[in-house]
Amino acid sequence: MLKIKAMAKINLALDVVRKREDGYHDIKTIMQAITLHDLITLKPIDENIIRICTDNPRIPTDEKNLCYKAAKLLKDQFKINSGVEILIEKRIPIEAGLGGGSSDAAATLWGLTRLWNINLPFNRVLLLGQQIGSDVPFLLTGGTVYATGRGEILSRLSPLKGVYFVIVKPDISVSTKEVYQSLNLNFIDRRHSIGDLLNHYLNKDIVKFSKNIFNVLESVTAKKYPEILEIKRKMIEKGALGSLMSGSGSSVFGIFGSYEGAENALEYFRLDYRDVFIAEPTCKSLEII
């Protein structure tokens, strides 16, 4: 049996370059693994089946589940005649832009190569991850990365240190697919330079970096749900160096330079929201416990 922490991610910047012929979009993004995590338990069972169990009734337990897809991919490719029970203990809010489903799938893929003694180089595991979802390669890798393509082409950056994230997930559920379908690249008010942002980061100017973070998908999600912009405004009021919607939403994070500042903001937002967290950047995306 294996028990794995599956870390969430946030997008510190997200630009969409173009729509591809395969229906996906080419993006440029800076992604960060954070300490907010789900717990995935992989348990061998006698039956030659994949059984999904979860403490969240909104999560599918059939072949629609990304953990199921990860296990099925390994079983089919490597002719595995063993069964597994996958227990998903959710702490990462769903439909929040935090990569929870992809992180769970990454943990399942990575863990089952060990449980089933599939000896693969890490690059092969990453290629398998691409078949499950665009965020899965990063959530197998962790740390701080600059990602291009669909999000699967990863360039590692120096670790982000000395900051804390306050994450607020409003009672809004967002479909990533619908957000991208609604995105009109011709009507984005202001195009930011991710190159300039990377320069701030590489120069370790976290204040300037934080003040210039951006996410073009806010032009869809925040337009539909103005509450997202209100949360961002309140984050800055409470002392955040910068604030942004993560991924396609609906979660919003603020970057704080001290734990005390983050804790004050946490207590403030907990007056109105159920899903509020403090997290730190981490170099890991997966951890066996």
CA distance 176 to 189: 21
* Catalytic residue (choose from 28, 135, 232, 238): 135
Q: Does residue 135 have an active-site annotation?
A: yes
H, E, C per residue of 225-274: CCHHHHHHHHHHHCCCCEEEECCCCCCEEEEECCHHHHHHHHHHHCCCCC
* H-run or E-run covering 151: none
CA distance 216 to 38: 27
The DSSP bridge pattern shows strands 50-54 and 83-89 to be parallel
Cβ atoms < 10 Å from Cβ of 133: 22
CA distance 174 to 168: 14
Among 249, 198, 204, 262, smallest CA distance to 93 is for 249
* Catalytic residue (choose from 9, 28, 75, 232): 9
DSSP tally for the chain: helices H, then strands E: 10, 11
CA distance 108 to 110: 6
CA distance 285 to 93: 17
Catalytic residues: 9, 135
